[in-house]
Amino acid sequence: MASQLRLRSALALVTGAGSGIGRAISMRLAKEGAVVAACDLDGAAAQNTVQLLGGSGSEAGAPRGKHAAFQADVSQAPAARRLLDQVQACFSRPPSVVVSCAGITRDKFLLHMSEEDWDRVIAVNLKGTFLVTQAAAQALVSSGSRGSIINISSIIGKVGNIGQANYASSKAGVIGLTQTAARELGRHGIRCNSVLPGFITTPMTQKMPEKVKDKVTAMIPLGHLGDPEDVADVVAFLASEDSGYITGASVEVSGGLFL
Ligand SMILES: NC(=O)c1ccc[n+]([C@@H]2O[C@H](COP(=O)([O-])OP(=O)(O)OC[C@H]3O[C@@H](n4cnc5c(N)ncnc54)[C@H](O)[C@@H]3O)[C@@H](O)[C@H]2O)c1
């Protein structure tokens, strides 16, 4: 997609910004003019993303250029609250674009899935998205600012997947959470949408056996896995005023998989 400057005055918080889709989203939003607060559990990875954006801070939360990196575990309520406090302290305003992209998989057949594997995936993917959405919305409402919240779900949240009862449930939950947030926050000028990627080439899908990847590829109408930039294109649109009348939507970026 051609580069535009639709996000010139935006401050964008991206979680999971240290890798894959979150890094591509950070780069795309910055390219469109946004100042990016890049957050990851892996603080060094978030720093690397900031360096790729062209503004570097060597200490967490310290913007040397205009972007800054933050370390946080979004599954922990105090950490999520602290993250929003740190971002606001750093930039003197709440983020007007918030992208929850932090996510994990811990695959096992339902018959063998441990309670721990269930709990951890729900804690990061669903509770983490709730905590960041809530803290960001509270900050926006109390400052009277408009915003766009974008939560990264998955096509698997719509159709399920063998070995991913925990992941599919978490991503289905993200869709429900986002639709509810859209209903509650519309009156405050805050839009909330979710994006449902199909299979995208990132470290997460590199773990998939080649045999499974080939099988999946054969089912994709467009004939190939997606790139992180394909997801970033859609996130940039949802972040911008080009989608000003869209809220509560779930946008599939799957090459037509599971139509
Ligand atoms: N890759 C795909 O095919 C695909 C498809 C659909 C949805 N998604 C979703 O997109 C998002 C990004 O996936 P990806 O493929 O880029 O994965 P990735 O593993 O490359 O990146 C995920 C990032 O999230 C961070 N993270 C993990 N736990 C965290 C926590 N508790 N707090 C903060 N950060 C944390 C990781 O450190 C990592 O940098 C995830 O939510 C994933 O479920 C990915």
Structural domains of the chain in order of their starting residue, each with its CATH number: 11-253 (3.40.50.720)
Q: What is the pLDDT of residues 130-169, one digit of tens each?
A: 999 999 999 999 999 999 999 999 999 999 999 999 999 9
The amino acid sitting at 245 is Y
Mean pLDDT of 4-28: 96
Q: What is the pLDDT of residue 207?
A: 84
Across 57-61, 159-163, 217-221, 252-256, least confident range: 57-61
Statement: residue 259 has pLDDT above 80: no
Q: What is the pLDDT of residues 76-86, one digit of tens each?
A: 999 999 999 99
Ligand 1 neighbours, Cβ below 6 Å, are 15-16, 18-22, 40-42, 45, 72-75, 101-104, 124, 128, 152, 154, 197, 199-200, 202-205
Q: Is 245 a catalytic residue?
A: no
Phi, psi of 208 (to 5 degrees): -70, 140
Mean pLDDT of 80-100: 98
Q: Which residue has a Cα nearest atom 21 of ligand 1?
A: 19
pTM over 0.85: yes
Specify which residues 38 forms β-bridges with: 14, 69
Query: Half-sphere exposure (CA, 13 Å, Cβ side) for 171?
Result: 26
Q: Which residue has a Cα nearest atom 30 of ligand 1?
A: 73
CA 71 to ligand 1 center in whole angstroms? 15
Which residue do the tokens 């090459």 mark?
255
Mean pLDDT of 86-96: 97
